[in-house]
Structure formats: C-alpha cells, structure tokens
C-alpha cells in the first residue's frame, strides 16, 4: 500500500515540477470532466439531490463558513494521519461512503470491484453498499488486506436481513453500517422527470439475487427480471424504530454503525442502544430537502456522542473539507460523489487518484497549518465565521 509521502510525490511534487495529472485535482473540474464521460441518466442520478437541492448545495457551501487558525513554530516535518476505529489501525481518517450505483459507473459495469481496488491501492476503507452489481463476497475479496465495512439497507423480511448480515460477516467485513434515512426514496425531480431509478430497472440487485433467502422467496422467478424488481421493491426498506436496535444488535457481533444521524438526541439514543459509532450524514442531500448542512450538525452530534466515534459525510469536496470535519470532531470522514466521478473517468485508478488528492491536500494543509497529528487538528478546532 502506498504511503502519503508517495501521494505527495505522485501528485504535489510532480505538479510542482511540471507533470500534468491525467485527471483533475479539484472537484469542480473533476465533476465537469465526469459529466462529459457519463450518460445523462447516470449523471442525473449521481449528481442530483432531493427537491430544489437546497440541502445538497448547503452541504458543500457550508464548509466555507468554518475556518481554522494556523500555528507557527511547530515541527510538522512528519504528519500522522492514522486513526483507530473499531480497534483497527487505519492509515488515514478518510473512507469511501456507500454508493449504490458504483457498479454502473465503469464501462464494464463492475464499478464495485473497481471501488474496492481503489481502496486496496490507497488503504482508504470502502463502505460497500447493499446495492451492488457484484456480490459482496467478490467486493470483499478485491479489498485484499484493507478493512472494509458493509452498509445494510435493512429489508422488511427479517430472514433476508439476517442472511445479508451473516454473509457480510463471513466475507470479512469489519463493521455493519445500517442506513436509517432511506427506507423510502426522497423526492428527486431529476429522476422523477425522467423515470430514472436504476434499481427499478433491475440494476445493482446482485446482493439480493445471490442470496439464498431471496432465492427461496422467488423460486424459479429468480431469473425473471421484472419479478426480481417487484419483490425487491416490496422488501427494500424496513421502517426501523429504536425498538429494532435490540434485534439489530442480536444478529451481529460486528461493530454497529447508525448512518443518517443529525440530531444530538438521536446520537445519545443510539449510544444508549449500543451503537458502536454514529454516522452523521444527510445522505448527501438526496433524502430530505430543506435541511441545514450536515457539517453544521456535526459539532452537536459529536458533543452528544461523548466517547463514541462519529463518522461524517455529505458535502466533502477537498482535503481542506476533510481537515475541517476532523477539526469539528469527526473520527473519520467519508466522500461520496467525488470518488464516483473518479471511477467514471478512470475506473479504479481514477477513484484512487481522487482519494490520493484528498489525502495529499489534507496532509499538506496540516503541514502548513502547524498541525502534526489529527489530535492537534481536533485540539485547534474550527470556528464558525459569518
Ligand atoms: C449516487 C449515490 C448513491 C448512494 N447510494 C447509497 C447507498 O447505497 N447506501 C447509503 O447508505 N448511502 C448511499 N448514498 C449516500 C452516500 O453514502 C453519502 O451519504 C453521500 O453521497 C455523501 O455526500 P457527498 O456525495 O456529498 O460526498 C448514495 C449517494 C449517491 C450520490
Ligand atoms: O440513491 C440513493 O441515494 C440511495 O441510496 C437509494 C437506495 C435505494 C433506493 C433509493 C435510493
């Protein structure tokens, strides 16, 4: 696995000496280039959010309202970006958020394997989505020695839910991330106007069709796409309440992470119910419109979570954003759309490039800010500017 110093050599020092990267190093150019490479329908699905996209726009722009203060006369020759999470030592605080259509984002439609390969190339853990073109076992094996986490969309059928979780454990995933905010899809005008929902066209359902419980539910109809989609839609989104926590806790020994928590009281409740980590996120502004930016929720969620680690995503577009989220208390920081655009442009290598740029920028910012470690970043914090 490459070291950050290598990423600095590969991207930053190479740039200083006149080497031009194959793919952009900044998000706006990356998105523009990816938009040229992707089909309109896939681009709409990935880029879009809910309603008039106010929440989604706020997610990214709110990072500008947080500022950090540099410290001088600190030896930052060597920075330490490693973190501990679930007893695992991770080389950096970055992770890849679960994205249900990564499978469709490469030419060969094996984008889930490409995302896993990018994880292996960079050491940045992947949270593998339930919605996948390749079975989770294949994704896990592509990760090599880099730990991966499995994201669960909890089916209404409990036997199916338990089967997916047991498969994730057997495949070697190191944590279970249960997404709470998407038992039903948000109001997404771009997709509604074009009738474009990849899952409802039979894509990314391989974790279901490869599952023995789902196969039993369907019988011979497992080979009939229309029936698969219909049964999937019937079972997709269990309405979870706090009463389900005991059941969720009972079906796995893996660390349990609750994704989609934005309210401090929900964070407290999650900790009381035995969650091992809180994942503060508003699903990249794709579920509930009219909300405040996820990064503005983060400090309150962190305060409420106490010693329980808080993961964060939604709106992270640069290494600077990564450092700000850490300064506001996140233990680990996830990115969504940026690595998907990398995948669309250059497969595994393209996604790895995006991750390397994030890490190289974050590392360099820590160097010039006089923050030698993540502890130092957290200690210095970030302040809200009007
Ligand atoms: C195209 C797309 C598909 C997504 N699919 C999933 C998913 O399958 N499971 C999940 O928990 N979150 C999913 N998300 C939400 C991401 O995990 C993450 O919360 C969000 O993308 C972070 O925001 P960002 O894209 O602004 O970085 C998806 C997001 C996008 C853009
Ligand atoms: O597109 C998404 O954000 C997503 O996660 C999803 C998953 C299943 C159904 C609808 C949306």
Domain at 19, CATH number: 3.20.20.70
| Mutation to probe ligand 2, out of 41, 51, 103, 185 (largest number of atoms < 8 A from CB) | 185
Q: How far is it, in rounded angstroms, from Cα 120 to Cα 110?
A: 16
Phi, psi of 284 (to 5 degrees): 65, 25
Residue 71 placed within a domain: no
Reported as a pLDDT band with limits 50, 70 and 90, residue 386 is confident
- Which residue's C-alpha comes closest to atom 1 of ligand 1? 46
Single pTM value for the model: 0.98
Q: How far is the CA of 285 from the centre of ligand 2 (A)?
A: 12
- Which residue's C-alpha comes closest to atom 19 of ligand 1? 283
Mean pLDDT of the chain: 97
- Which residue's C-alpha comes closest to atom 5 of ligand 2? 100
pLDDT for position 6 = 78
Please say if the pLDDT value at position 355 is more than 80.
yes
The CB of 48 under 6 Å from ligand 1? The reply is no
Q: How far is it, in rounded angstroms, from Cα 49 to Cα 170?
A: 34
Please say if the pLDDT value at position 60 is more than 80.
yes
Report the chain's terminal Cα–Cα distance, integer Å. Answer: 41
Residue 55 placed within a domain: yes
The CB of 204 under 6 Å from ligand 1? The reply is no
Point out the ligand 1 atom lying closest to the alpha carbon of residue 316.
Answer: 27
Strands (E), 15-78: 66-67
Is 283 annotated in the active site? yes
For residues 100 and 203, the answer to whether their CB atoms sit within 8 Å is no
Residue 357 placed within a domain: yes
Residue 384 placed within a domain: no
pLDDT for position 336 = 98
Number of domains comprising the chain: 1
Q: How far is the CA of 98 from the centre of ligand 1 (A)?
A: 6
Reported as a pLDDT band with limits 50, 70 and 90, residue 289 is very high
Tell me which ligand sits closest to the C-alpha of residue 38.
Answer: 1
Mean pLDDT of 217-246: 97
Q: How far is the CA of 52 from the centre of ligand 2 (A)?
A: 17
pLDDT for position 67 = 98
pLDDT for position 1 = 44
Q: How far is the CA of 99 from the centre of ligand 1 (A)?
A: 5
Mean pLDDT of 364-370: 97
The CB of 97 under 6 Å from ligand 1? The reply is yes
Phi, psi of 339 (to 5 degrees): -75, -25
SS3 362: helix
Residue 255 placed within a domain: yes
The CB of 350 under 6 Å from ligand 1? The reply is no
Here the tokens at position 217 are: 């539910």
Please say if the pLDDT value at position 41 is more than 60.
yes
Domain range for 260 is 4-65+79-379
- Which residues have C-beta within 8 Å of that of residue 361, sequence separation ≥ 6? 25, 318, 319, 320, 322
Tabulate helix, strand, coil % of the chain (nearest 5). 50, 10, 35
The HSE-up count of residue 343 (CA atoms within 13 Å, CB side) is 30
Given the cut 0.90, state whether the ipTM is greater than it. Answer: yes
Active-site annotation holder among 283, 297, 300, 353: 283
Residue 170 placed within a domain: yes
- Which residue's C-alpha comes closest to atom 15 of ligand 1? 283
């Amino acid at each position: 696995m490459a070291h950050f110093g290598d990423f600095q050599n590969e991207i930053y020092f190479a740039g200083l000496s006149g080497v031009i990267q194959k793919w952009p190093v900044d998000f706006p150019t990356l998105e523009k280039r990816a938009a040229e490479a992707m089909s309109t329908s896939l681009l709409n699905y990935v880029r879009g959010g809910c309603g008039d996209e106010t929440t989604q726009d706020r997610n990214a722009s709110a990072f500008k309202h947080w500022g950090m203060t540099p410290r001088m006369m600190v030896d930052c020759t060597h920075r330490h970006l490693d973190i501990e999470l679930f007893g695992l030592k991770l080389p950096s605080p970055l992770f890849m958020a679960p994205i249900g259509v990564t499978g469709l984002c490469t030419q060969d439609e094996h984008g889930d394997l490409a995302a896993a390969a990018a994880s292996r190339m960079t050491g940045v853990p992947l949270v593998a989505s339930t919605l996948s073109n390749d079975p989770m076992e294949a994704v896990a094996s592509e990760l090599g020695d880099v730990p991966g986490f499995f994201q669960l969309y909890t089916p209404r059928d409990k036997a199916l839910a338990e089967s997916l979780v047991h498969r994730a454990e057997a495949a070697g995933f190191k944590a279970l991330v249960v997404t709470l905010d998407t038992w039903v899809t948000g109001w997404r005008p771009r997709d509604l106007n074009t009738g474009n929902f990849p899952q409802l066209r039979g894509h990314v359902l391989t974790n279901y069709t490869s599952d023995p419980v789902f196969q039993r539910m369907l019988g011979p109809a497992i080979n009939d796409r229309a029936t698969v989609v219909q049964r999937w839609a019937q079972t997709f989104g269990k309405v979870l309440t706090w009463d389900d926590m005991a059941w969720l806790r009972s079906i796995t020994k893996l660390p349990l992470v609750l994704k989609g928590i934005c309210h401090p009281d929900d964070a407290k409740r999650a900790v009381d119910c035995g969650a091992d980590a809180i994942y503060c996120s508003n699903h990249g502004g794709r579920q509930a419109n009219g909300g405040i930016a996820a990064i503005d929720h983060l400090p309150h969620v962190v305060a409420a979570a106490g010693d329980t680690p808080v993961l964060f995503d939604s709106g992270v577009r640069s290494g600077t954003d990564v450092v700000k989220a850490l300064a506001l208390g996140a233990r680990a920081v996830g990115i969504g759309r940026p690595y998907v655009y990398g995948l669309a442009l250059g497969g595994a290598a393209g996604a790895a490039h995006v991750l390397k740029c994030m890490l190289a920028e974050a590392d360099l910012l820590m160097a010039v800010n006089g923050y030698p470690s993540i502890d130092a970043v957290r200690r210095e914090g970030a302040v809200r500017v009007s």
